[in-house]
Amino acid sequence: MKNRLIVSVSPHLHKDESISKIMWMVVISLIPAGVAGVFIFGQGALWVILLGIVSALITEWIIQLFTKRRVSILDGSAFLTGLLLAYNLPPKVPFWLPILGSVFAIAIGKQVFGGLGQNIFNPALVGRVFLMASWPKYMTTFTKPLNYDAITSATPLAALKEGKVLEHISHWNLFWGIRGGCIGEVCIFALLLGALFLFIRGYISWHIPITYIFVVGLFTYIFGSKSVFTPLEMSTAQSGIARFLTGFSGDWLFHILSGGLILGAFFMATDYVTTPLTRKGQIIFGMGCGLITAIIRLWGGYPEGVSYAILMMNAATPIIDRYTKNRIYGTK
């Protein structure tokens, strides 16, 4: 019986939208990526997606019952969290992994803050890093694409990190999703279709995703290695800053197309609740994400840094919001 009467200060804007509608629109925009993922990795991927979604819904339902808040599982946000979490998982994981991930994502990533609108961190990513820290073995075992026997293979970024060479990966392969990776992140084409839909309908703005992707591309161009075929060489002969100046030849297209960057930039770094309100703040957010992602990819211990980057910038969002406040009408 808590949130019946909402009193807020004018001006009030009336739009045809509700939170529910937006959430379900995002879900719809993600369907092509899911279909592609299941097609590329097989039926197991479908189970992961279903388990993720159902666990998220049930967890939210139970917690809202227990804390005597309005049960809102039909507003699409829990569905979306479960879906996004599943998209961030490898296709061949034990059945309990997406379940525990969704439970953690909804419980700790969202409900403990008081529910939708109050969470600081992107719930799906909270679930993902929890799983990554808890069961790294399962979270880093990927399967070969278009091979329904589920033979393991490495992702392009992982191969790059270890200095190995993947001969048969071309940029085209990356674009269509013919590579190892997480269920919803591989098919760039499908993801871009969904993102286009959201752009056209005005549900997301370009500031964060374009800034994010641009910074990653720029940074990896300047500091990255020639291409995926020649692993990053740290020149130990040169000392100091000179080491970093041998760049301007990085394979930026490879970096943009691989890993979870497209999925993260368009669908997770654009989440209204956990990202800054103003355009200036959003650009800062996008730049921060891009910088951290690129740095982790190039020099960190992990092959991919998108989830960590977005979560770190989520933490910085309240501060960014405070210092990029719009001028209140009538004041100096």
Partner 1 sequence: MKKFLNEFLKGIIKENPTFVLVLGLCPTLAVSVSVINGIGMGIAATFVLLGSNIIISLMRNIIPARIRIPCFIVVIATFVTITELVMKAYSPALNRALGIYVPLIVVNCIVLGRAEAYAQKARVINSLFDGLGMGVGFTLALILISGIREFLGAGKILGYTLFKGFEPAFVLGMPSGALLVIGLLLGFFNILKNRRT
Partner 2 sequence: MNTAQFLTIFISAVFLYNVILSRFLGLCSFVAISRETKPAMAMSLAVMFVTIMSSIITWFIYRFLLIPFELTYLRTISFILVIATFVQFVEMVIRKISPPLYRFFGIYLPLITVNCAVLGVAVLNIDMFFTNSKAIPGSFYYSVFQGICVGLGYALAMLLMSGIRERLDLCDVPKAVKDFPLAFIIASVMSLSFLGFNGFRF
Binding-site ranges for partner 1 (CB under 8 A): 94, 100, 108, 112, 130, 133-136
Is residue 147 classed as helix, strand or coil in its secondary structure?
coil
**Minimum separation from the CB atom of position 108 to partner 2 (A):** 6
- The closest of 283, 300, 301, 282 to 292, measured between CA atoms, is 300
Of the CA atoms within 13 Å of residue 122, those in its CB half-sphere come to 31
Contacts for 232 with CB less than 8 Å, ≥ 6 apart: 160, 163, 224, 225, 298
**Minimum separation from the CB atom of position 99 to partner 1 (A):** 13
Nearer to partner 2, 187 or 269 (CB): 269
Pairing of strands 142-143, 152-153: antiparallel
313/288 Cα distance (integer angstroms): 7
Site string for partner 2, 308-327 (x = CB under 8 A): xx-xx-xxx-xx-xx-----
* CA 311 vs CA 121, 160, 177, 270: distances in Å: 6, 24, 25, 12
Is residue 93 classed as helix, strand or coil in its secondary structure?
coil
Nearer to partner 2, 270 or 307 (CB): 307
The tokens describing 124, both together, are 């799906």
Is residue 245 classed as helix, strand or coil in its secondary structure?
helix
146: left (phi over 0), alpha (psi -120 to 50) or beta: left
**Minimum separation from the CB atom of position 63 to partner 1 (A):** 12
Q: State the number of binding residues for partner 2 (CB under 8 A).
A: 41
Q: Binding to partner 2 (CB under 8 A): which residues in 60-89?
A: 67
Contacted by 210, from partner 1, partner 2, none: CB < 5 to 8 Å by type: none
Among 6, 133, 200, 237, binds partner 2 (CB under 8 A): 133
Among 108, 150, 192, 210, binds partner 2 (CB under 8 A): 108
Site string for partner 2, 223-242 (x = CB under 8 A): -----------x----xxx-
Contacts for 118 with CB less than 8 Å, ≥ 6 apart: 273
Nearer to partner 2, 100 or 316 (CB): 316
Contacts for 43 with CB less than 8 Å, ≥ 6 apart: 148
**Minimum separation from the CB atom of position 94 to partner 1 (A):** 8
| Choices 22-30, 78-86, 93-101, 306-314; region in contact with partner 2 by CB under 8 A | 306-314
Question: Which residues here bind partner 2, judged by CB under 8 A?
Answer: 2-3, 67, 108-109, 111-114, 117-118, 120-121, 126, 129-130, 133, 234, 239-241, 243, 292, 296, 299-302, 305, 307-309, 311-312, 314-316, 318-319, 321-322
